[in-house]
């Protein structure tokens, strides 16, 4: 039924993931009755759409989906462990991220969460992270899903063969730049390092980087961005949209009705602990200095 979105079978299949067998059977009965209402072919399509709408709005809204998921997990966890109260510290948040630099930076920031929390010294040692799964290989020894996800984040701004897509086999190539970013964030020296100085900042570069950068114009900004990842950057959780100035402004124009009439554009310069990204990455929200 194209006019109603997903088919009845698919709709009920998705419901069965969240609801019990009896509840799903009741909804199936309501749909069947609506389909045969009035004894005419097709029944009452408006009634069918109304029944589905009670549930499908959450299937197309990430915020609503996560709200329901977290609530149900909390109920299950509390029942199993005989406890009450909330389980999650904060509400679910999501950010629109542009492909390229923004996606790579955000991926690295997330994978460095356990390091910032003092849980591990190397993000690869944290078993629940995509990076740890990709490096460690996972239970099946290949870490395929994690590698596909990181390959997408690392190379999503480049031309990709439509048939190959973001194949996990590209992990070896893509991981080089990602490991380099992680290494700089953790201030690890590379092999055959050369050291240059700029003010009070010490820069570690390998031979290729030294030749490429010349007067440090390439390495220094990247190093500052990497070091930024060691701090909590509130823009990455509360910035709403992260990317180039043009990208943030384009999203702003597409969602103009969500903002006040006084606001002229969407892109806001990053400040505070995120100032190293100023001019490279922009945010849709202008967060106060000193809070992240």
Nearest CA to 285 among 271, 272, 266, 264?
Answer: 266
Phi then psi for 291, rounded to 5 degrees?
A: -120, 15
- Cβ proximity of 174 and 156 under 8 Å: no
By mean pLDDT, which of 29-33, 46-50, 216-220 is the weakest? Answer: 216-220
Per-residue tokens: 50: 């109304």
Q: What is the per-residue pLDDT for 165?
A: 58
Taking phi over 0 as left and psi of -120 to 50 as alpha, with beta for the rest, 4 belongs to alpha
- Cβ proximity of 166 and 156 under 8 Å: yes
From residue 281, give the alpha-carbon distance in Å to each of 70, 97, 128, 182.
Answer: 31, 10, 28, 18
By mean pLDDT, which of 63-77, 247-261, 266-280 is the weakest? Answer: 63-77
From residue 266, give the alpha-carbon distance in Å to each of 28, 255, 290.
Answer: 45, 10, 21
Nearest CA to 35 among 62, 7, 16, 54?
Answer: 7
Looking at residue 200, what DSSP letter applies? T
Query: pLDDT at residue 281 above 90?
Result: yes
Q: What is the pLDDT of residues 231-270, one digit of tens each?
A: 889 999 999 999 999 999 999 999 998 888 889 899 999 9
> Which helix H or strand E contains 217, and what residues bound it?
none
Nearest CA to 277 among 240, 227, 241?
Answer: 227
Model confidence at 140, in pLDDT bands (50, 70, 90)?
low
Model confidence at 164, in pLDDT bands (50, 70, 90)?
low
Beta strand pairing call for 96-97 and 241-243 = parallel
Beta bridge partners of residue 197, listed in sequence order: 202
Q: What is the mean pLDDT of residues 211-230?
A: 61
From residue 48, give the alpha-carbon distance in Å to each of 10, 25, 41, 117, 153.
Answer: 14, 15, 13, 49, 39
Q: What is the per-residue pLDDT for 65?
A: 79
- Cβ proximity of 167 and 176 under 8 Å: no
């Amino acid at each position: 039924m194209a006019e109603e979105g997903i088919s009845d079978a698919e709709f009920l299949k998705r419901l069965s993931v969240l609801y019990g067998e009896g509840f799903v059977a009741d909804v199936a009965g309501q749909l069947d009755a609506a389909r045969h209402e009035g004894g005419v072919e097709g029944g009452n399509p408006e009634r069918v759409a109304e029944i589905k709408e009670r549930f499908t709005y959450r299937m197309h809204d990430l915020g609503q989906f996560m709200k329901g998921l977290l609530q149900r997990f909390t109920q299950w966890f509390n029942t199993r462990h005989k406890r009450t109260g909330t389980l999650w510290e904060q509400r679910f948040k999501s950010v629109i991220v542009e492909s390229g630099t923004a996606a790579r930076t955000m991926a690295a920031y997330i994978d460095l969460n356990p390091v910032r929390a003092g849980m591990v010294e190397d993000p690869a040692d944290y078993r629940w992270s995509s990076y740890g799964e990709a490096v460690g290989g996972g239970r099946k020894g290949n870490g395929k899903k994690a590698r596909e996800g990181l390959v997408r984040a690392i190379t999503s701004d480049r031309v990709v063969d439509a048939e190959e897509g973001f194949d996990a086999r590209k992990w070896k190539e893509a991981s080089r730049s990602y490991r380099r970013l992680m290494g700089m964030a953790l201030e690890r020296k590379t092999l055959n390092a050369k050291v240059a100085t700029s003010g009070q900042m010490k820069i570690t570069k390998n031979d290729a980087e030294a030749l490429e950068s010349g007067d440090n114009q390439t390495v220094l900004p990247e190093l500052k961005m990497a070091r930024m990842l060691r701090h909590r950057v509130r823009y990455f959780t509360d910035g709403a949209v992260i990317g180039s100035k043009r990208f943030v402004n384009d999203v702003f124009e597409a969602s103009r009705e969500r903002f006040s009439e006084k606001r002229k554009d969407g892109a806001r310069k990053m400040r505070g602990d995120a100032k190293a990204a100023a001019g490279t990455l922009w945010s849709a929200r202008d967060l106060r200095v000193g809070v992240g």
